[in-house]
Amino acid sequence: MDKLIVRASPKSPVSEAYRTLRTNIQFSNLDHELKSILFTSAMAGEGKTTTIINLGIVVAKSGKRVLIVDSDLRKPTIHKHFEMVNIRGLSELLLEDGEPTDYIVKSSVEGLDLLLSGTIPPNPSEMLGSRRMMILTEKLRREYDLIFFDAPPVGIVTDAQILSTIVDGTILVLAAEKTDKREALYAVSLLENVNCKLIGTVLNRIPMKESGYYQYRHRAYYDQNDDETKGIRGLLLRMRRFYQK
């Protein structure tokens, strides 16, 4: 529970950064219905799961019905942050072709539900790319205002690429002082190869002196409004050109 920052410190600058991210997503919804959003990263350990959990909380607190789906069927962690037992979830739902309501659990946050990963299967990519997964996603879109899918890093396995083709949009999470530029560009190219709708980038762990307007020591949403061409900002400029095509 220690990473649920918006619950522990709701008035902190970090919590405000998540509310800013919520607002940016809402504005992305003007010309295109955006109900199912995939979160992935270039590599492991970039803050993807922490981002999706805290964002889910702030959106739920705004009065929306939110579902977080732990679609990382290799190293699931959502259940740990909510101190739940992960014995029944997405894997069982897809295998048994059951009703989502029988597998979804309520979190301790009003308006925020969870579909845990369930048992780790031997064939995650095949399950996530199945027709049952497509049908399930459509069912969930009718029941919730927003659905956030937590997927494995796109630079490591193909799961995120597969899922990005059945959701309304994808957000790439990067760590300012950890993500290698080549790995990040490779992640973008992988998403580009499957024609996913990349709606934005979350840049985590921006040092105070580098963060510009949002001077948050731990995490921040960077909206790519400068024209620098070097380092991580050059990477973000490259991404902007990609998803504004």
Structure pTM? 0.82
- E strand map for the chain: 36-41, 66-70, 105-106, 112-115, 146-150, 169-175, 198-204
Q: Is the dihedral of CA 20, 26, 32, 36 positive or negative?
A: positive
Q: How far is CA 243 from the centre of its chain?
A: 17
pLDDT in tens, 35-81: 999 999 988 888 899 899 999 999 999 999 999 999 999 999 999 99
Domain that holds residue 101: 5-243
**Cα–Cα distance measured from residue 33 to residue 144, given in angstroms and rounded to the nearest whole number:** 13
Given strand 169-175, what is the order of strands in its sheet? Answer: 105-106, 112-115, 66-70, 146-150, 36-41, 169-175, 198-204
- Please state whether beta strands 169-175 and 198-204 pair in parallel, antiparallel, or not at all (unpaired): parallel
For the chain, helix (H) and strand (E) counts, in that order, are: 10, 7
Number of domains within the chain: 1
Q: Angle 45-47-50 (CA atoms, 0-180°, nearest 5)?
A: 130
**Cα–Cα distance measured from residue 172 to residue 118, given in angstroms and rounded to the nearest whole number:** 24
**Cα–Cα distance measured from residue 57 to residue 47, given in angstroms and rounded to the nearest whole number:** 16
**Cα–Cα distance measured from residue 84 to residue 30, given in angstroms and rounded to the nearest whole number:** 36
Q: Is the dihedral of CA 57, 64, 217, 7 positive or negative?
A: negative
| Residue 94 near residue 136 (C-beta atoms within 8 A) | yes
DSSP symbols for 104-149: -EE-SSTTEEEE---SPPS-HHHHHTSHHHHHHHHHHHHH-SEEEE
- Domain of 115, CATH number, reads 3.40.50.300
pLDDT in tens, the chain (245 residues): 446 655 655 666 677 778 888 887 877 666 677 899 999 998 888 889 989 999 999 999 999 999 999 999 999 999 999 999 999 999 999 999 889 999 999 998 999 999 999 999 999 999 999 999 999 999 999 999 999 999 999 999 999 999 999 999 999 998 877 888 888 888 988 998 998 888 888 887 766 554 444 333 334 443 443 444 444 445 555 555 544 44
196 secondary structure, DSSP code? -
**Cα–Cα distance measured from residue 107 to residue 65, given in angstroms and rounded to the nearest whole number:** 12
